[in-house]
Amino acid sequence: MKIQYRIHDHIFLSPFLPLKPGVFQSECKKFELHLTSSSPSKAETVIQPKLIWRETTRPEVGFSVDFFELDLSEIPHGEGYQSFQHGYQSWSLSKRMQASEADRSPRLAFLQYTQENIYSKHKGEAGEVISEYFTILYQQSSSRGHLYASLDRGEFGMKFKTHITPEGAITKVSAIYDFYCLPDLRPNSKIIISKVLIESFTGIPEVILANYFKKLGEKLGTPTLPKKVPTGWCSWYYYYTKIDQKTIFENLSKVRELNLPIEFFQIDDGYQREIGDWLVPNDKFPGGMRILADEIKRIGLKPGIWLAPFLVRKKSEFFRKFPEAILKDENGKPVPAIYQPLWGRGYTYALDITHPTALAYIEKVFTTIVKDWGYPYLKLDFLYAGLLPGDTYKKNLSPQARYMEALALIRKIVGKNTFLLGCGAPMLPSVGFFDGMRISCDVAPYWGPERLRVFLKDRNALCTRTALLNDLTRASMHRNLWLNDPDCLLVRKKKNQMTEAQTKIMASVMGVSGGMLLVSDDLTKLELDRLTLLKKVFQLNAECETETPIPLGIFENDFPQGLYNPAGYIGIWNVTESPAKISVTLPKPIKSKGPYIDFWTGKIIDLEISQKKDKVDIELPAFGSVVFAI
């Protein structure tokens, strides 16, 4: 166990030494650690750590705490373990990690901090895995495992570091708390940090994960979620930033002509004059954004709009007028938040979301968009920018604490009846503030990652395959923490490199998941057969939307091969380029006798079902998929 702190540029790492049972003292004598534990059940242990500042005075000028690492004594025995690595934010990859795999961040720094936790230093070697907020260690041969997880949002971020041998033996598990601030350290003051849940289990790990999400949502208080998930149209994945008022009106009129069962109509990036100047539309929207909202309402839909409230570019009016509210490093230079060529040359920067001027502007923006313009659906993007390191106005707030304070302000401004969708958002500190949450990287009109992203070893590289992988591994967050947003569905043939079979897998995953369903095609050019497919996806989604799905086979394949929805549907797919026999184990036995009909084709499916009816085998062609009712 150790704590890292700094005084100006000097970094100190101080281990903790035992004083008496449950009490430890840092070697530097500045901190004392108290550990207590409880056992809510035979399988569960809850650890409550408390840090105490033992100096007789407050910290000296230039003092701050980086992180605290807590070694956990309960680790599984034996070999053959794999770990489930959960990503930091919406776009961060979440998947199983085998003992031989290297936990490697993207090569380029700006890809790392825009997609992963900038405070997590992944070694890039096999033998050490960092998982954000929770992890599962699972031995497939015995069906035994351990869940390690945070039990609350907490003032400080939490992650778990696992050391594993090539044979799959676990040698160490630790919980790491991201401070990266100067807490209010008074003599003998206590810092209460998040509790750690350790749960041992035997059985299906996906069910354990779903139960954890349920427990977490009940504890943190998710918003009251509607029975019907949002369905709609989004401008981004066909037009990107090249939208205008005419394009929006054309697709809007087509929604009614095609009789699509959608509720929301969302205008994405491209309407604003500049990133950061959210209240000033560009010349392509001469009528302004209120007129668009009024027209969307006139035909019976709810208007939605995109913004990235924590981002700002140098050309924006806000950056020029209020440089003091921009997040800066220790040298006074603006902190880069992202490099996005679609927005122009150079970096886009972050607001200091603890600065009064920035907070006043955030209040003005959201008040105007919701109350003056009339948008009841807001997609908030690139939210990780609110947690980037910098010399903030309020130095006593950790990155996670300042982020949660800003979200609380936004929710207070817009009210409980405004639907907030998070994107690019750190997951755990977002629970309770959002109605919907993007759980994956961006989809794309192609299946696998682009060659450049492969060369850069960008494990989070946007593509449909990676997006669907996260949609599966995080599927059970749906209705436990928020309404899942698996990102937009693309069914078109034009401007789409995916095959029909790959498109059907995309439709199957999104339909059976029961999460939010927004299409992002040019509706004026949509082919008839793809329109038929789209309407069937909406039908499937409507039948699955009220239940929390469970992925099948997280630890058996890099890409889980099935999804079970308690509403009565199973989806199974083969995402390889060769025919394969797919086997999935179900969380509950199948009750119906069959025959089983493929939802897409109406044909009888040739299945092999185990005697206990809890395992299904099926032969599928390359990129084949089926969905059937049980």
Q: At 624, phi and psi to the nearest 5?
A: -85, 155
**DSSP-derived 3-state class of residue 66:** strand
Q: What's the one-letter identity of residue 588?
A: K
What is the DSSP secondary structure assignment for residue 598, as one 8-state letter? B
Contact between residue 208 and residue 554 where contact means Cβ atoms under 8 Å apart: no
What is the b/e burial string over 149-183, where b = at least 16 CB atoms within 10 angstroms of the residue's CB? bbbebbbbbbbbbbebeeebbbeebbbbbbbbbbb
**Residue the block writes with tokens 């006074």:** 332
What is the DSSP secondary structure assignment for residue 142, as one 8-state letter? T
What is the b/e burial string over 94-113, where b = at least 16 CB atoms within 10 angstroms of the residue's CB? bbbbebebebebbeeeebbb
Distance CA 280, CA 143 (A): 57
Q: What's the one-letter identity of residue 548?
A: T
**Residue 3 β-bridge partners:** 14, 68
Largest CA-CA distance found in the chain, in angstroms, rounded:
77
Nearest Cα neighbor of 168 from 100, 79, 106 is 79
What is the DSSP secondary structure assignment for residue 368, as one 8-state letter? I
**Residue 416 β-bridge partners:** none
Task: Please pick, among 269, 381, 458, 521, the residue that the annotation labels catalytic.
Answer: 381
595 prior amide bond cis, ω within 30: yes
Contact between residue 527 and residue 492 where contact means Cβ atoms under 8 Å apart: yes
Distance CA 112, CA 152 (A): 26
**Residue the block writes with tokens 């185990």:** 610
Active site residue 269: no
Nearest Cα neighbor of 429 from 617, 172, 178, 630 is 178
Contact between residue 357 and residue 392 where contact means Cβ atoms under 8 Å apart: no
Contact between residue 84 and residue 97 where contact means Cβ atoms under 8 Å apart: yes
What is the DSSP secondary structure assignment for residue 384, as one 8-state letter? G
Q: Which helix (H) or strand (E) holds 160?
A: strand 157-164
Active site residue 442: yes
**Residue the block writes with tokens 């929604």:** 255
**Residue 70 β-bridge partners:** 175
Distance CA 502, CA 526 (A): 17
Distance CA 143, CA 589 (A): 18
Q: How many CB atoms lie within 10 A of CB 88?
A: 27
Query: Is residue 82 left, alpha or beta, with left meaning phi > 0 and alpha meaning psi from -120 to 50?
Result: beta
Distance CA 364, CA 315 (A): 20
What is the b/e burial string over 63-72, where b = at least 16 CB atoms within 10 angstroms of the residue's CB? bbbbbbbbeb
**Residue the block writes with tokens 């099926």:** 618
Task: Please pick, among 268, 277, 442, 471, the residue that the annotation labels catalytic.
Answer: 442
Rounded CA Rg of the chain: 25
Q: What's the one-letter identity of residue 344?
A: G
Q: Which residues are catalytic?
A: 381, 442
